[in-house]
Amino acid sequence: MGKLVISTRLRLVASFLAVTLLVGGLSLLVGTQLIYRAVLREAQARISLDLNAAREIYDDRERSTLLALNVAAGDQSLRGASDLLSAGRLSTRLAEVAEAGTLDFVGLVSADGRRLAATGAGSGVPANPIALLALRQRAAVAGTVVMSREELAAEDASIAARALIPLVPTAHAAPRPDTPETAGLAIAAAVPLLAADGSLRVLYGGVLLSRNDAIVDLIRDTVFRQETYNGQLIGTATIFFGDLRIATNVRTPSGERAIGTRVSEEVKQKVLDEGQPWSSRAFVVNEWYVTAYEPLDDIQGARVGILYVGVREAKYTDIRTSALLVFVVITLVGIAAAIGLGIFLGQLIMRPVSQLIAASHRVSDGDLTPEIGPVSRSEIGILQKTFADMLGALRERNERQLADRERELLQSEKQASVGRLAAGIAHEINNPLTGVLTFTHMLLRRTDLDASAREDLTTIVQSTERVRAIVKGLLDFSRQTQLDPQQTDVNRLIADTITLAANQALMKGVRFCFNPAEGLPCRTLDRNQMQSVFLNMFLNAIDATDNGGHIDVSTSLTLSPEEPGRRNIEIVIADTGCGIPASLLDKIFDPFFTTKEVGKGTGLGLSVSLGIVERHGGTIHVASRPGQGTTFLVRLPLDGVKRP
Amino acid sequence: MNVLVVDDDPVVAASCRKVLEPEGIRVRCAMSAGEALVAVREGAFDLMLVDVKMPEKDGFIFLREARASVPLAPVVVMSGFSTQETVAMSAEAGACLFLPKPFTPDELMHAVRRATGASKGG
C-alpha cells in the first residue's frame, strides 16, 4: 500500500519536476542567449554610431586647424617683405596662432619651401610635407599626414621625441619587426597667402597625434559622457598609426595608456589592408571589447591608420551573467514549487485513495466500519461514496445473514437436543409402557371387576395411550433426518390428506375447500413425511376453527421471487379460525410450543413440519389476524431436493 | 405353539407371557442374545419375538448368528425405537413383522397370528 502511494506521489513530483526543468532549462539557455545577443546587437549598433561621432570630432579637428590658419593668414604681419620680416615678431605671432589653435607646430614657408619662421626650434629642413602640398596645389589643404622622423625633427626635437614610440609586445597582433616607431601621424593644414611683394607663401600648422591624449579623451568624454562601469570609464577611443596605438585611453593592466601596443591581426587585415570598417567583439590589449574600427586615410588618400572606439564587453557579459542568474533562481524556485506542488497534489489526490485502500484492507480483515475519510468532491468522491454504499450493503447483508444463521443454529440446536432426548426417552419409556398397557388390558379382561375398578383401569389405559402418543411424537421429531423421496403428485397428496382429516372436520363442523392448480407437475418428495406435515396443519386448522368455519386449501405453480427462472409449488392453507396473536407468531415453530390445552398436543407438530419442509428445500410462511384466521404458505421449489 | 421371546427387559417378557400363555401358547423367555442362541439350538419354536436393543449383542446380530446355525421360525421384531430405519433393518434381518412398542395385548396377538398365519400361508 505504502509503496503504491509513494510511487504515485513520486511520479507526480517527477513529472512536475521534468516540466519545470525542461521549461526552466530551455528558457535559461534560449532566454539568456537571446537577451545577450539583443544587448550585444544594441551595443554594437550604438558603438557604430559612436564611431561616427568620433570621426566627426576627428574631422572637426582638421577643420579647426584649417580655420585657425585661415584666420591667421589674414594678418598683414605675415605678408611683409621677407627681408623686412622681423624673425622675432613673426615667431611670436606664430606662437599666438599655435596657442589659439592648440597646434603643436606652426610655420611659414616661402614659395621655394624655405622656412621663414616657425614655432619650433628645428632646422626647417626638410620642409613640412603639408606646406609642400599647399605650395604644389596653390590652395588651402587640410588632413592627416604622415611625418617622418626627419620632418618632425625639422619642426622641433621635442616633437620628434614625442613621436618616438617603442613597441610593446601585444597578443593577437600581426608580426612586425621590433623597432621603435619614429614617424608620426599628424592632423595638419596649410594655407597659401600672397606676400606684399606678390610672392607666394604658405602658412602651415598641425597637431601631432602621437601621444596626444586630448583628442582621444575628447572623443571618449563626448561620446561616452563619463559613463562608468565598476568604477572604470567604460568607453575607450584610440588613434592608430598603422597598427600601432599612438594615442589611446585604453589602459594596460598596470593602468597606463596602452601606447605602443598594437591592433589584433584580424582587425588590421580587415581595416588597414582591406579598408573595411570593423564592428564586432574584439580583443583589445588584454580584454574583450565591443568595438568599431574604421580606416584613417591621409590627405592623399593612403590608409595610414585606424580610428577606434569601444566599450568593455564586461558590462554586457555581466548582463548575461545576471540574466543567467535570474533564470537559474527562477528555475530553482520553480523546482522547489514543483516538488512542493507535486507532494501537495499527490497527498491531496492520494489521501482519499490511500484511505480507501486502508479501508478495503480493514474490510478484508472483517471490519465493515472502516474510516473512509471526508468525501472528496472529485471522481474519487464517487468512488468513496460507492465504496461506502457497498459497505452499507455488505453490513446489512452480513447482519441479515448473521441473524438468519443464529436463528437457524438455535432452531437446529433445539431440534438436535430435543431429538437426542426424544430418542432416548422413546426407547426407555416404551418398554415399561408395554408392561403398563399389557397388564391393564389383561386386568380389564377380567369379568369379576366392579364398575368403579373398570373405570379406573380404563383411565389408566387412556392415560397410557396419551403417553404413547407423546412418545411417538418425540420419536417422529427426533428421526426427521432422512427423506425417502419419490415422485409425488402434490394435488393428489393433499387430497388424500384432506380425506384423512375429513372425519375430524366433520365432527367439528368445519368444511374443507380444496382448489388444486391444474397441470401441477410431479415432484420428488418424502410422501409420508410431507403427508404428516399437511395432516398436522389441517388438524391444527380444524382445532382453531369453530363450527361453521371453513378451511381453504389451494395449490399453485409460481416463479421463484429469489431465484429467477426457478419455479415453486405453493400450498396455501387458510382457515377462518381464531388466529394467532402477533406476539406468538415467532414462536409457533419452536419445539414444544403449543396453544392447546394440556393433553391435546405435544407441541412438536409445526417444529417437525418446518424441519421436514426445509429438508425438502422449502419454506413455511405464516400470516394471521387474530379473530379472522390464519394462513400458512408452504413453498416447495420444483427442482431439486436439499439433501441433509 | 412354542414362542421364544428375546428381550432384556423382564417387564416385556412378563407382558408377553401374560398375554400369550392364556391363549395356550408356550412361551420361553431369553434375557440376552447369548441365552436366546442356546434356546434356539435346544428347541424348535414356531415364532420368535425379538427386541432390537439389548446389551452386548442386539437383536439383529442375534438373528444373523442364529440363522447361521439353525433354520429359523418366523420372526417379529419389537422395538420402542420405531423409526423407518429400524423397520427397514428388521425386514432386512428377515423379520416378517415389525411390532412397535408399546403394544396392547390385542396388537400383540394380532401380530402373532399374522406372523404365524403368514408363515403358514407362505
Q: Name the closest residue on chain A to residue B52, using Cα atoms.
A: A427
Element (H, E) at B48: strand B47-51
Residues of chain A scoring pLDDT < 70: 1-6, 81-87, 415, 477-483, 591-604, 639-644
Nearest to A441 among B16, B85, B105 (CB): B105
Q: Which residues of chain B make contact with A432, given a CB cutoff of 8 A? A: 11
pLDDT in tens, A316-367: 788 778 878 888 888 888 888 888 888 888 777 778 888 888 888 888 888 8
In a mutational test of the B interface, the residue from A421, A429, A434 whose CB has the highest number of chain B CBs within 10 Å is A434
Question: A192 near A140, Cβ under 8 Å?
Answer: yes
Q: Which residues of chain A make contact with B80, given a CB cutoff of 8 A? A: 426-431, 433-434, 471
CB atoms inside a 10 Å sphere around CB A199? 14
- Distance, CA of B90 to CA of B94 (rounded, Å): 6
Nearest to B80 among A427, A437, A479 (CB): A427
Q: How far is B105 from chain A (nearest CA, A)?
A: 5
Question: What pLDDT is stored for residue A1 in this prediction?
Answer: 45
Element (H, E) at A91: helix A87-100
Q: Mean pLDDT throughout B19-34?
A: 92
pLDDT in tens, A353-387: 888 888 888 888 888 788 877 877 777 788 888 88
A429 touches chain B (CB under 8 A): yes
| Contacts by residues A397-402 (CB-CB < 8 Å, ≥ 24 positions apart) | A398/A368
- Distance, CA of B99 to CA of B36 (rounded, Å): 19
A599 touches chain B (CB under 8 A): no
Q: Name the closest residue on chain A to residue B107, using Cα atoms.
A: A438
pLDDT in tens, A471-492: 877 777 666 556 678 888 999 9
Residue contact A427–B81, C-beta within 8 A: yes
Residue contact B11–A427, C-beta within 8 A: no
Q: Name the closest residue on chain B to residue A437, using Cα atoms.
A: B104
- Distance, CA of A384 to CA of A390 (rounded, Å): 10
How many A×B Cβ pairs under 8 Å?
74
Element (H, E) at A305: strand A303-312
B12 touches chain A (CB under 8 A): yes
Q: How far out from the chain centre does Cα A187 lie?
A: 71
A472 touches chain B (CB under 8 A): yes
In a mutational test of the A interface, the residue from B18, B20, B81, B107 whose CB has the highest number of chain A CBs within 10 Å is B81
Q: Name the closest residue on chain A to residue B21, using Cα atoms.
A: A442
C-alpha cell read off for A631:
394462513
Nearest to B19 among A442, A464, A468 (CB): A442
- Is the pTM higher than 0.90? no
Higher pLDDT, A93 or B104: B104
A65 touches chain B (CB under 8 A): no
Q: How far out from the chain centre does Cα A114 lie?
A: 92
User: Residues near A489 by Cβ (< 8 Å), separated by ≥ 6?
Assistant: A520, A522
Q: Do the strands A619-625 and A629-637 form a parallel or antiparallel pair, or are they unpaired?
A: antiparallel
Question: A64 near A305, Cβ under 8 Å?
Answer: no
User: Residues near A635 by Cβ (< 8 Å), separated by ≥ 6?
Assistant: A558, A568, A569, A570, A571, A618, A619, A620, A621
Alpha helices (runs of H) in A445-581, residue ranges in sequence order:
451-478, 490-508, 527-544
Q: Name the closest residue on chain B to residue A445, using Cα atoms.
A: B105
Question: What pLDDT is stored for residue A469 in this prediction?
Answer: 82
Q: How far is A442 from chain B (nearest CA, A)?
A: 7
Q: How far is A478 from chain B (nearest CA, A)?
A: 9
Residue contact A475–B103, C-beta within 8 A: no
Nearest to A432 among B11, B19, B53 (CB): B11
Residue contact A436–B81, C-beta within 8 A: no
Q: How far out from the chain centre does Cα A277 lie?
A: 54
Question: A262 near A173, Cβ under 8 Å?
Answer: yes
Instruction: Dump the DSSP string for A340-372.
Output: HHHHHHHHHHHHHHHHHHHHHHHHHTT-SS---
Q: What is the 8-class DSSP label of residue B21?
A: G
pLDDT in tens, B38-81: 999 888 899 999 998 888 888 888 998 888 888 878 999 998 88
CB atoms inside a 10 Å sphere around CB A82? 15
Amino acid found at A32: T
Residue contact B104–A438, C-beta within 8 A: yes
B82 touches chain A (CB under 8 A): yes
- Distance, CA of A165 to CA of A158 (rounded, Å): 13
SS3 category, A445: coil
Nearest to A423 among B81, B84, B108 (CB): B81
Q: Which residues of chain B make contact with A431, given a CB cutoff of 8 A? A: 7, 9, 11-12, 80, 101-102
Q: Name the closest residue on chain A to residue B13, using Cα atoms.
A: A435
Q: Do the strands A200-208 and A228-229 form a parallel or antiparallel pair, or are they unpaired?
A: unpaired
A428 touches chain B (CB under 8 A): yes
B24 touches chain A (CB under 8 A): no
Q: Which residues of chain A make contact with B58, given a CB cutoff of 8 A? A: none
Q: Which residues of chain B make contact with A464, given a CB cutoff of 8 A? A: 102
Question: A293 near A303, Cβ under 8 Å?
Answer: no
- Distance, CA of A623 to CA of A263 (rounded, Å): 121
Question: What pLDDT is stored for residue B29 in this prediction?
Answer: 93
What CA dihedral angle connects A389, A390, A391 and A395, to 10 degrees? 100
Residue labelled with grid coordinates 599666438: A96
The candidate with the shortest Cα–Cα distance to A248, out of A209, A289, A287, is: A209
Question: Which of A442-456, B4-18, B76-90 is the least confident region?
Answer: B76-90
Exposure string over B8-29, b if 16+ CB within 10 A, otherwise e: bbebbbbbbbbbbeeeebebbb
Nearest to A431 among B12, B82, B85 (CB): B12
Q: Which residues of chain A make contact with B17, given a CB cutoff of 8 A? A: none
A426 touches chain B (CB under 8 A): yes
Beta bridge partners of A278: A293
Question: What pLDDT is stored for residue B120 in this prediction?
Answer: 44
- Distance, CA of A493 to CA of A527 (rounded, Å): 8
B101 touches chain A (CB under 8 A): yes
Q: How far is B114 from chain A (nearest CA, A)?
A: 19
Q: Mean pLDDT throughout B8-21?
A: 92
Residue contact A438–B85, C-beta within 8 A: no
A475 touches chain B (CB under 8 A): yes
Question: What pLDDT is stored for residue A480 in this prediction?
Answer: 59
* E-state strands within A195-266: 200-208, 228-229, 232-233, 235-241, 244-248
Residue contact A423–B80, C-beta within 8 A: no
Q: Which residues of chain A make contact with B15, given a CB cutoff of 8 A? A: 434-435, 437-439
Q: Which residues of chain B make contact with A484, given a CB cutoff of 8 A? A: 84
Give the burial class of A147: count Cβ atoms within 10 A of its Cβ; 0-12 exposed, 13-18 middle, 19 or more buried: buried
Element (H, E) at A480: none
Nearest to B80 among A431, A441, A482 (CB): A431
Amino acid found at B40: V
Q: How far is A498 from chain B (nearest CA, A)?
A: 24
Residue contact B80–A430, C-beta within 8 A: yes
Residue contact B12–A434, C-beta within 8 A: yes
